[in-house]
Amino acid sequence: MMHAFNYLAPKITMQTSTLNEVMASDIPVKLLLVAETGRDALLAQPAFAGVAAQIALGLPAPYRLADGQGLQLVLFVDSAPVLDHWLYKQIRTWTAPLAGLKVAQLALHLEGFDEAPRALLAELVLATLLAANVPLPTQKRADEAPIGYQSLTLSPPCILDLARIEAEAQGNGLARHLAVLPASELSAGSYRAFARQLAQAEGWQWEEFDEAALAKLGAGAFLAVARGSEDNQAAIVRLSYCPANPVRRIALVGKGICHDSGGYNLKVGGSMYGMHLDMGGSAVALGTLHAISRAKLPYEVHCWLAIAENHIGPRAYRPGEVVTALNGTTIEVVDTDAEGRMVLADALALAAKGEPDLLIDYATLTGACKRALGSRYSGAFTNRPDWLPELIRLGQQSGERIWPFPLDEDFDDNLDSEWADLLQCAPGSSPDHIDAARFLSRFVPGQTPWLHLDLSGFRNKGGNGVVGSEVTGFGVRLSLTLLASPLGMAEPAT
């Protein structure tokens, strides 16, 4: 039976409390952020003598302040902080000592900041605290159920979109929850059932294209991968959030390979370990939909999950086959371990039929992207090259950094096939992350604005952005940041 996802974000309240009032309160954990401009004056006070001593000894922040009622942590922050990866990393480090504390209340106080930097810091710290507060499923027998914060107080008040902050934490938490489930728990069949139940609970529209329906549609690329499972559990699932008077129609597409053996091009040398995470792209797509829905954002969103498993067996697809995708493109199979682009091809073709104003696909797609960028960034490809500078900026702003790669047409030379419209991938050495993006571009009409994210940052030791866990759910916060930007509201002139 699958672990249920039932995270409830703590109640966040704003108060007009002063620093002294917060310190004197009976809240068991207090996080005090003080502007550097007020540092000397504060350290001169007797109550902060312990902090001054820790600084003199060269101890790293956060500094612990004596408190008979609980834990107080003090941090000094630039009065005009720069929003970059270093600030995100600092905040993850600062909040790390709070992980695992069995307390129901936490107070966050920001002292000495102007309104704009106070709001910026409050949003980042709250988002980081909420991300750390999401309990992830575990199979350990001795683990106790974690006790999360039930309430957070923020002082002094500032202008924040608390609904968006809470919805983002829930969406990212859902993505991580699904990703860490073992392959014995999250199969194609159980994933489909979970998606249907979630749609019913959230009031979304639900439609499922099972293998029989996909065969009628001619989705040969997806079905080639599904053949190896022999259990008829693979499907493309569409979940739709349709508010009144939406400003735009968005399509989200996610690779949902619940386990990837590599097929006949079998993964060897330990490379199959961790391949239950190969459904991470679909988890991000689903988490983004969940966040948009919970925040009641004015977008009509259609989320397409390409759910399957890549197995080896008598019916599994083989190198040298030619299959026909849903849009009629014929594909010569080169490597059965390049299954992600196969299932995405037909899912993208289906999503594009709805003529979305913006189409985003998410996939843990290529090792080449991870070799190029490591796991702190994810790769970005788009058919709107004018977007690239803004996409880089949005990645920095969200803490989920992306780096663009070229999508020029002459890379198609790598995919020339003697027998079909294109090769699935290049048989020799090539920039496979670029080849994969060029392959996928064949299934997205040129008039559809499209962003492809190769999620090399989905798993990173130390976390990414506001998330401190190794499985990061990379993409949910980035997508919400993008949708709130001019790129999310209207296509720029080209």
- Per the model's pLDDT, the better-predicted residue between 428 and 116 turns out to be 116
Residue 118 has pLDDT above 90, yes or no: yes
Q: Which pLDDT score, from 0 to 100, does residue 493 have?
A: 39
**Mean pLDDT over each residue of the chain, to the nearest integer:** 94
Q: Give the pLDDT confidence of 272-307 residue by residue, as tens digits.
A: 998 999 999 999 999 999 999 999 999 999 999 999
Task: Quickly state the pLDDT bin for 492 (edges 50, 70, 90).
Answer: very low
- Per the model's pLDDT, the better-predicted residue between 98 and 297 turns out to be 297
Best-predicted range by mean pLDDT (94-98, 309-313, 486-490):
309-313
Active-site annotation, residues:
267, 341
Residue 89 has pLDDT above 80, yes or no: yes
Residue 85 has pLDDT above 80, yes or no: yes
The 8-class DSSP code of residue 127 comes to H
pLDDT (mean) for 377-398:
97
pLDDT (mean) for 100-113:
90
Task: Quickly state the pLDDT bin for 143 (edges 50, 70, 90).
Answer: low
Q: What is the pTM of this model?
A: 0.95
- Distances 409 to 379, 391, 431, 439 between C-alpha atoms, Å: 18, 21, 14, 11
Residue 146 has pLDDT above 80, yes or no: no
Half-sphere exposure of 82 (CA within 13 A, CB side): 5
Beta strands, E only, 98-203: 105-111, 151-155
% of residues, the chain, pLDDT over 90 = 87
Q: Which pLDDT score, from 0 to 100, does residue 490 have?
A: 58
| Distance between CA atoms of residues 438 and 412, nearest Å | 7
Q: Give the pLDDT confidence of 219-234 residue by residue, as tens digits.
A: 999 999 999 998 899 9
| Distance between CA atoms of residues 71 and 123, nearest Å | 22
Q: Which pLDDT score, from 0 to 100, does residue 27 have?
A: 92
The residues facing 250 across adjacent strands are: 301, 358
| Distance between CA atoms of residues 95 and 374, nearest Å | 25
Task: Quickly state the pLDDT bin for 147 (edges 50, 70, 90).
Answer: low
Q: Give the pLDDT confidence of 330-365 residue by residue, as tens digits.
A: 999 999 999 999 999 999 999 999 999 999 999 999
Q: Is 139 exposed, middle or buried (0-12, 13-18, 19+ CB in 10 A)?
A: exposed
Q: Which pLDDT score, from 0 to 100, does residue 140 have?
A: 83
Report the CATH architecture of 11-139+146-160.
3-Layer(aba) Sandwich (3.40)
| Distance between CA atoms of residues 300 and 274, nearest Å | 34
Q: Which pLDDT score, from 0 to 100, does residue 295 have?
A: 97
% of residues, the chain, pLDDT over 70 = 98
Q: Which pLDDT score, from 0 to 100, does residue 366 have?
A: 96
Q: Which pLDDT score, from 0 to 100, does residue 102 have?
A: 80
pLDDT (mean) for 181-188:
95
Fold designation for 168-484: Aminopeptidase (3.40.630)
Coil, helix or strand at residue 268 = coil
> What are the residue boundaries of the structural domains of the chain, listed by start?
11-139+146-160, 168-484
Q: Give the pLDDT confidence of 433-477 residue by residue, as tens digits.
A: 999 999 999 999 999 999 999 999 999 999 999 999 999 999 999
Task: Quickly state the pLDDT bin for 488 (edges 50, 70, 90).
Answer: confident
| Distance between CA atoms of residues 88 and 399, nearest Å | 6
